[in-house]
Chains A and B, each alone.
Chain A
Amino acid sequence: MSARLISLLVLPLLWGTAQAHDPIFGMGPHVIYRGGVETALDWHGDDEGGELAAELAYGLTGDLALDLELPADGAGPVEVAGKYRFWRRDALRLQESTALAVRLIDDRDANRRDAVLGLAYGYESRTWYRWAALRYRRNAGTRDDVLLMDLVLGRRFWPGGYRDPDWVWMVELNGERAGDTRSAFLSPGLFWTLRNFAVKAGVQLPVAGNADGPRGRTTLEWHW
């Protein structure tokens, strides 16, 4: 299976949910608060082009959220997802949690429906972040299924006050396996926020395996 085809299969998966504070390319356990609404514009692409999507998420409870993702130009898959944070440990200045997520991808143009199941762990403190995630994408038809693994380390070098701009720098190690093809990426990124607005941006640099690169992603996100 060619590297380009791998990218085409995996790129839509990388959209994920634009949930903050979560990794840029991997999956994290965070969900928006009950009754909260999250809106996002998400761009991802590589040197041959990119795609823009609009996203809407709603918090059903403090630990359960639903997500809808639509292609900005009307062409492309429609995605519906749910994430449930089933374990959480809160302590002074830190939160640790795990979540399960399911995503359904309806590609009307290609007349196929794929599904993704994910499990994520996250640790978030005033200075350090760490995440680990596993996702499995079941592809309809004859395409290989994809297994994705993510390890992420993040750091807030200058913790500020509640109303100050906030900077979290992170680096991800993203692994992908589809059939006999394996790829690994090193992905630096930044998560910047101010009050209820966030900007996430990162680039995936292939470091092993068959995939082409680099690939990029930028997300603008609002909480209401």
Chain B
Amino acid sequence: MKRIFWTLALALWAQAALAGEYVMRVDGLACPFCAYGVEKKLKRLEGVKDVDVDLDRGLVKVEVENGVTLRDERLRELFRDAGFTYRGTVARPQ
């Protein structure tokens, strides 16, 4: 049982260590239905694991696999295609 516990804990830690999170400021996000396009477009990028949107703070949070880089120019284009305005990245994976 102890072995199973530590194996599971190690697997979870490895999973977290292999992921990172981008946090981006995006303007124009007022409604969840409209913001759905942001999630759709981001999830099509290779290495993107999960997307969340904080409508009240204008933030888009993207969880990515280790080593995945999201560049400003690509993000600017992506959000423009989604119908919003990318203002910048406020946090990147370590």
Contact B55 A196 (CB under 8 A): no
Could you tell me if A93 and B33 are in contact, using CB atoms closer than 8 angstroms?
A: no
A contact residues around B85 at 8 Å (CB): 90
Cβ of B31 and Cβ of A124 under 8 Å apart?
yes
Q: Does B64 contact A (CB under 8 A)?
A: no
In the complex, whether A209 has a CB less than 8 A from a CB of chain B is no
Please tell me if A223 contacts chain B, counting CB pairs below 8 Å: yes
Task: Mark the stretch among A2-10, A30-38, A109-117, A176-184 that contacts chain B.
Answer: A30-38
Q: Does A126 contact B (CB under 8 A)?
A: yes
Q: A34 to B54: give the CA distance in the assembly, Å.
A: 22
Q: Complex Cα distance A221/B87, Å?
A: 30
Decide if B81 touches A33 in the complex (CB within 8 Å): yes
| Min CB gap B11→A, angstroms | 27
Residues of A within 8 A of B88 (CB): none
Tell whether, in the assembled complex, residue B30 and residue A124 are in contact, meaning their CB atoms are under 8 Å apart: yes
Task: Contact check, B33 vs A223: say whether CB atoms are below 8 A apart.
Answer: yes
Closest CB-CB distance, A82 to chain B, in whole Å?
A: 16
Q: A62 within 8 Å of B by Cβ?
A: yes
Determine if B56 and A126 form an interchain contact, defined as CB atoms under 8 angstroms apart. yes
Q: Which of B28, B36, B58 meets A195, CB within 8 Å? A: B36
B83 within 8 A of A: yes
CB neighbours (8 Å) of B83 from chain A are 31, 33-34, 62-63, 88
Is the C-beta of B47 less than 8 angstroms from some C-beta in chain A?
A: no
Describe A's contact surface by its main secondary structure: loop
Are A166's CB and B31's CB within 8 A?
A: yes
Alpha-carbon gap, A44 to B28, bound state (A): 31
Is A204 interfacial (CB 8 A cutoff)? no
- Which of A30, A91, A159, A161 is within 8 Å of B34, CB to CB? A30
State the Cβ distance, A201 to closest chain B Cβ, in Å.
15
Chain B residues near A95 (CB-CB < 8 A): 27-30, 34, 84
**Binary CB contact string for chain A from 136 to 172 against chain B (1 if under 8 A, 0 otherwise):** 0000000000000000000010011111101010000
Q: Which of B32-86 contact A (CB under 8 A)?
A: 32-38, 40-41, 52-56, 58, 80-85
Q: Give Cα distance in the complex from A92 to B34, angstroms.
A: 15
Q: Knowing A33-B41, A34-B82, A88-B28 are in contact, say whether A93-B55 is a contact too (CB < 8 A).
A: yes
Which of B30, B36, B58 has the most CB atoms of chain A within a 10 A radius of its CB?
A: B30
Is A210 on the interface with B (CB-CB < 8 A)?
Answer: no
Which residue of the partner chain, among B38, B52, B56, contacts A93 with CB atoms under 8 Å? B56
A-B residue pairs in contact (CB < 8 Å), sample of 9: A33-B81, A34-B82, A62-B83, A90-B85, A160-B32, A161-B32, A162-B52, A193-B31, A223-B36
Apart from A35-B41, A88-B83, 5 more pairs, CB < 8 Å: A92-B58, A162-B35, A162-B52, A223-B36, A224-B40
